[in-house]
Structure 1
């Protein structure tokens, strides 16, 4: 994975409070056994009508938002059930960051763990940015992860991010990659653990062999 210190791109306003994970990734797109094809399901009922035709009025279907990489959302974005597919779909679609007043707790954890940046800003700042995003001559939004700062035309704001999550973005790793940075410490602990308690080392394999032998 590559380092991600600065996210820059077209921002689109999705003016929906309490946008839940079922709306972000409807249940019919959860049937696969892998992550493939989830970009098609992203916000499906907002992007398409019941006949499968694009809804021209939805922001992401408008030509000027074809290359959107940042969403500006409403309060409690990503509430609802825990489905990591919602995050995977965002990333597959090309969304790199979401800026909103607040987020669903589980969605926040899933997103940041997969390196989809979530930025929480005050409601009045979000409203100003949404209005700016809707303008035909809207500038690009710049999110500086190292400085914890957002610049969007004349709008600027600092944001909070935990040291752990910031480090993951700056190092270019997800939660698994972050764990692997402690590989030497993990292996040292493992060796010490077995040395101090050798009787439990590989106990399941030895028990299986014992049972098989008796049978």
Structure 2
């Protein structure tokens, strides 16, 4: 998992509440267990028409937001079924941070496990961020995880809270496997001791 330290990039505004995981990545894309290639299916029912053509009014199809790294979203983002493909699709598209006033619990947890930082802000703060994001390619936000701050294009800052353990994992690029491997010396010592004390096992 890539480390998350400071992220600077265009923020795309999505003023839609209750965006569920089926909207994020529809069910027809769930046949794979690969984490790559899902970016094309991200928000596909909103991004494309029935003929597969891009809808020009959808935010991520607009020139200023095609390379967005941050998503500023409406309340209750990531609700619905517990598919891990949702953060995979966001990450494959290039989104490393999602900011909202609330998230569904399972989606929120899955984001941290896949290198995406979900940030919860107040309704007043989200409006400020929507205003920033609606500037198109000039809507650059800087997310400093160590300082726990969001810096807007005009230099204004918003502080946010994050669980210390999850912060540690993101800063160091540690997913569940990485956390286990960090304890490899202790695991190796245990296995060596077990092999000596129980050679029949």
Tell me the TM-score normalized by structure 2: 0.91
**Post-superposition offset of 1:16:** 1.0
Aligned to 1:210: none
Hey, what's the Cα distance between the residues in 2 that align with 1:137 and 1:32? 33
Q: CA 1:23–1:195 in structure 2 vs 1: closer, same or farther (change >3 Å)?
A: same
- Listed as ranges, the matches of 1:48-87 within 5 Å are 48-87=48-87
Q: How many residues end up aligned between the 2 structures?
A: 200
* TM-superposed deviation, 1:148: 0.8
Determine the C-alpha separation between the residues in 1 that align with 2:200 and 2:81.
38
Report if the CA contact (8 A) 1:11-1:70 is conserved. Answer: yes
Give the SS at the match of 1:167: helix
Relative to the length of structure 1, the TM-score reads 0.85
Root-mean-square deviation over aligned CA pairs: 2.0
Runs of at least 5 residues in structure 2 that lack an aligned partner in the other structure: none
Any idea what the Cα deviations from partners look like across 1:129-187, whole Å, max 9, x if unmatched?
11221124734100101111111134421111111111112212222112211122233
Q: Is the 8 A contact 2:65 2:136 kept in 1?
A: no
Structure-1 separation of matches of 2:189 and 2:168: 23
Asked if 1:169 is matched to 2:170, the reply is yes
Which whole-Å CA distance do the structure 2 matches of 1:45 and 1:159 have between them?
32
1:1-215 equivalent positions in 2, closer than 5 A: 1-136=1-136, 138-154=138-154, 155-191=156-192, 198=198, 201=201
Larger radius of gyration: 1
Residue 190 of structure 1 deviates from its aligned partner by 4.3
Listed one character per residue, the Cα deviations across residues 98-136 of structure 1 (whole Å, up to 9, x for unaligned) are 111111100111110111111111111011211221124
Counterpart CA distance in 1 for 2:7 and 2:70 is: 9
**Contact (CA 8 Å) 1:114, 1:175: kept in 2 or not?**
no
Give 5+ residue unaligned stretches, structure 1.
202-215
Q: Quick check: 2:4–2:115 contact (8 Å CA) kept in 1?
A: no
1: CA distance, partners of 2:120 / 2:183: 29
Q: Indicate the structure whose relative CO is greater, using CA pairs within 8 Å and at least 6 residues apart.
A: 2
- 1-structure distance, mates of 2:105, 2:199: 41
